[in-house]
Amino acid sequence: MNVKEIWRFPVKSMAGERLESAHIDENGVEGDRKVLVRGANGRMITSRTHHQLLGLKGTIGTDGEVRIAGAENLKAPYIWNTPEALKLVQGAVGPGAELFYYNGPERFDVLPLLVATDGAIAEFGFDGRRLRPNIVIGGVEGLDERTWPGKCLRIGNVEIGVQDLRGRCVMTTYDPDTLKQNREALQEIVDKFDGTLALNCFVVNGGEIRVGDSVELFIGKNYAANRS
C-alpha cells in the first residue's frame, strides 16, 4: 500500500488543496481547518447547511497565510482576514457571517484525520473528493478498510491510529466542481456501507509524509481501543 493523495482543508467546509507532502502532528495535517465561518448569531456555519461554501477554496500561501478563492480569483486568492475574502464568504452564506481563526481540537467533526482508501472509493462509485479525506491510501483491495478500526497505519516514522468508520452526511451529495446535488451519493453510502465510509483516525507519532510513501497496516498497542 502507498500514500496516493494528501489533502488539506485550511478553511473548514471549503474546497481544499492537494499536496505532495505534509507534516503530520497531533492535530492532523499541519494547517488543516484553521479558519472557520460563523454566522451573525455566533454559531459556526458549515456546508451541511450552506453548501455554497464548497464552491470556495482554501489554500495556504508560501508566506503561511490562509487564503480564500472563488471562481473569479483562483489565481490570486485573498488572505482570509481581508474584506475581499469576507465578501466571498458572505456571498456564499449571507450577511453577518465572519471568518475566525481557531486552533482547538473542536474544529474537527470527529478526529483530526480522515483516511480513505482507493478500494472503497471505487466501490462508492463517486468522486472521492466528496468524502473530504486528508489521506487516500492506494493499493487497497475492495472494502478492506472496514476491517481496519482498532489497528494502526505506519508511514515512515508516522503512526496513525484507526478509531472507527466515519458516518456520512449531506455534504457527500454535492459535486465538488459543479455543486450540483445528487442525493443518490448519500443513499449509496446508506445502502451499501451502512451509512459509513472512510476512517476516523488520530495521530500516535507525527512526522513527514509524501505521496508515494509505503503504508503498513499493523496491530498497535491498543491505541484505538484506549482512545476516549
Are 199 and 116 in contact by the 8 Å Cβ rule? The answer is yes
> What pLDDT is recorded for position 201?
96
> What pLDDT is recorded for position 220?
75
**117 and 93 in one domain?**
no
Q: Is the pLDDT of residue 104 over 80?
A: no
Q: Which of 44, 71, 104 is the last residue of a domain?
A: 104
Q: Is the pLDDT of residue 80 over 60?
A: yes
| Mean pLDDT score, 16-34 | 96
In a domain, 40, yes or no: yes
Q: Which of 49, 79, 104 is the last residue of a domain?
A: 104
For residues 54 and 42, give the distance between their C-alpha atoms in angstroms, rounded to a whole number.
20
**207 and 112 in one domain?**
yes
In a domain, 24, yes or no: no
Concatenating the DSSP letter of every residue in 39-81 gives -TTS-EE-TTT-GGGGGSEEEE-TTS-EEEE-GGGTTSPEETT
**212 and 134 in one domain?**
yes
**156 and 135 in one domain?**
yes
- Buried b vs exposed e over 17-56: b needs ≥16 C-beta within 10 Å? eebeebebeebbbebbbbbbbbbeeeeebbbeebbbbbbb
Report pLDDT digits (tens) over 131-161. Answer: 999 999 999 999 999 999 999 999 999 999 9
| Mean pLDDT score, 68-96 | 93
Share of the chain above pLDDT 70, in %: 96
Calculate the alpha carbon distances from 62 to 65, 67, 221 in Å: 8, 10, 38
In a domain, 174, yes or no: yes
**56 and 119 in one domain?**
no
**113 and 213 in one domain?**
yes
* First and final C-alpha spacing in the chain: 28
Grade residue 226 by pLDDT with cuts at 50, 70 and 90: very low
Please state whether the predicted TM-score (pTM) of the whole model is above 0.85. Answer: yes
Q: Which of 43, 70, 104 is the last residue of a domain?
A: 104
In a domain, 158, yes or no: yes
**120 and 79 in one domain?**
no
Share of the chain above pLDDT 90, in %: 87
**98 and 116 in one domain?**
no
For residues 113 and 109, give the distance between their C-alpha atoms in angstroms, rounded to a whole number.
10
The CATH number linked to 193 is 2.40.33.20
Query: Which range marks the domain in which residue 192 is found?
Result: 2-7+108-218
Joined grid coordinates for residue 68:
480564500
DSSP 17: E
Domain count, the chain: 2
